[in-house]
Structure formats: C-alpha cells, structure tokens
Amino acid sequence: MSAARRVGVGIVGAGNISSQYLQAIAGFDVLEIVGIADMKPEVAEKRAAEFGIRAAPVDALLADPKAEIILNLTIPRAHVEVGLKAIAAGKHVYGEKPLGINFAEGKKLIDAARAKSLRVGSAPDTFLGGGHQQARQVIDAGSIGRVVGGTAFFACPGHEYWHPDPAFYYDIGGGPVLDMGPYYITDLVNLLGPLARVQAQSLTPFAERPIRSEPKKGQMMPVRVATHVTGTLIFGSGALVTVTLSFDVPKHSHPPIELYGTEASLLVPDPNHFGGEVKLARPRAEAWEVVPTTLPYADANYRSLGLADMAHAIVANRPHRASGDLALHVLEVMEAFEVASKEGRIVEIATKVERPAPIADSLVEGKIG
C-alpha cells in the first residue's frame, strides 16, 4: 500500500549511521529523500553517490521547501545546534540519540519546536520493533502479572575495539549512558511507563584509553566521562529495575533485559535491535517458553521506523511514537544517573510522558497506523 503522500526528508550528517538509515528508508513509501549534507562536503558527496541521492550544502538543504523533516545524524554534541537551525527554518526534526547531551539543551530544542508548532522525533526507534512490541503485548495482556522488578544490562570492553574513530565515545556527550542508555531506557518506558526516580553510582577506571582499531590504532584518547555506571530505575508504577551500562567489561553472560512479574518472568530482546526472542517462565518452570513473535518489524534493520511513523503522523495529524517528549524524559533520566552518583542521593524525575501507542500494522502494507 502506497502512502497517501510522500514526506520530504533532508539528511544532515553523512557518517557511519547514515547508510543504515538510507538502506531502511527505501522500505517506506511515505519517505522521500530530497538531499544529504555534511560539514565535510566530500563525505556527503560520497554517500550521495552511493545511494543515488543529491548532495547539498547544509544551509541549502535547510532552505529547501521540499524538505519537511530534517533527519539529524550529526554527532551528539551537534544534535541541538543543528536541530535548532532546522526549527528556525520551519522544519520538523528527527534526530539520532540522544536528544542532547544534557537536559537543559534538550528542553531548549523541545520548547523551540513547540513555540513554532513543529514536531521533534528522536531515535532510538528499536522499541517499535516486533520483538519489543511483542514483549509489551505480553505485559499489557497481564501474562506476567504486575511487574515488580527487573534488570537491564549493557556492557562491552569499549568501542575502541571496532570503531574507526572512537574518541567521541569518551568525550563530553559520550559514555555508555548517553550512547547505549537511550535504547534500554526508552524500551523500558515503552514496556513499563515513565520513570519517577533514579539512584546510581559511577566509575571512570582509566584517564585515557588506547585506540585498538584501524586506522588510528595505538593513539591515546582522553576519557572525560564515566565509563561504568550502575543504578536503579524507580518507575511510576513502583517497579524497580537495576541497570548497568559499561565500557569496562571484558565479557559477560547477562541477558539485555529481564522483567519479573507477580505471575511470571519475561526475557526481552536486545533493545539495540528490532527483533529477537521473547521468552516467559512461570514459577518453578524448568525452561523458558518462547513467545512467538507475530508483530511486524522484527526480521531486519528498520532504523528509520520512527522517522516513517513521524511522517505518517504528520500526514494523519496524530501523535508520533518516537517523540521529542519521550526522548526528553529519557534524557532527564540519563542525566539523573550522573547527578545521583555525584551527589549521593535519589533524583526525582520531573518530566511526564505517556507510553507510546503500540504497533500492530503489517510491514506488507508499508505503513504504521
């Protein structure tokens, strides 16, 4: 089923992640790429040639009347700066995660958009994938009872082992909380609702780290952020979820997300992916039971699903799911990890947000209702 009309998208930022978006965007009729820009024109031109699209200067793309949405794929420290320029140009904005590198600047972006009746959307959109929507369906059906607690765990030895230029992961705006926290916290809000409070502790074991990947292997990177963070998310529902986010773990065997209900436990897939197995176990069960995934967007990379949903929402005049309000709530929670750790106290979360509407439409129809 073709979209009623196509929504023009201008991309700012032609780095590594842009290729994943461009591959996935091709699967959504509602999206039409009108151009790509980068602060390094040669990078934009290379990506444009790869995908058969137009390269343009940033200012020209922002001024293009065909670009209704600016897809902001710049580095985290530039997210709000570029987003504000897009809003000033009268464009809706959909950005990579995080919304900003601190709550104050993220709120500035949301407030600017609201003042001009424009939309802000933000990755991650993996929570819209079939695996996570299936887990939500299990919870919403009451199959595990009331959720009492859980664990969320991301840990690796560091991105310096694979990324060609990993220094920004250890600079202000980087670290495991801002890098990977959005996937986990956004999915948990999707599953359990908004947060009420946060408590946390953090460590920075190394003042600098060596790059272990090419082409900069052997160069040293200063570390300006906490790289091992652990804490407890206290949800408005009362559920308590223990979280660890770390770039300092050589290897582990923890599942990404486990939730513990009064009737059963639930294994939730990796929130960095759209699919994955959902498993349930009741008290004294000898093994986990696989819950069949019947919902769409679970079998591939759909890293533009939130963008497509936002475009459909613009056409249909309805709320979009990967919203700026959701991203701002998650950003406040992530910043609370740092505040709680430094000040040794439980931090209250001020922002309020509704759980995004669930997804049930099929990929065959190519829409998100």
- Note the pLDDT tens digit of each residue in 264-299: 999 999 999 999 999 999 999 999 999 999 999 999
Q: Outline which parts of the chain fall under CATH 3.40.50.720.
A: 7-126+302-323+355-365
Q: How many angstroms separate the Cα of 2 from the Cα of each of 24, 197, 313, 363?
A: 16, 43, 15, 12
Pair 116, 106: CB distance under 8 Å: no
- The CATH homologous superfamily for domain 7-126+302-323+355-365 is NAD(P)-binding Rossmann-like Domain (3.40.50.720)
Q: What is the mean pLDDT of the chain?
A: 95
Q: What is the pLDDT of residues 147-198, one digit of tens each?
A: 999 999 999 999 999 999 999 999 998 999 999 999 999 999 999 999 999 9
Q: Outline which parts of the chain fall under CATH 3.30.360.10.
A: 130-291
Percent of the chain with pLDDT over 90: 93
Number of Cβ within 10 Å of residue 289's Cβ equals: 12
- Domain 130-291: CATH architecture, name and number where available: 2-Layer Sandwich (3.30)
Q: How far apart are CA 172 and CA 178, in angstroms?
A: 10
Q: What average pLDDT does range 41-57 have in this prediction? A: 97
Residue with tokens 């859980």: 150
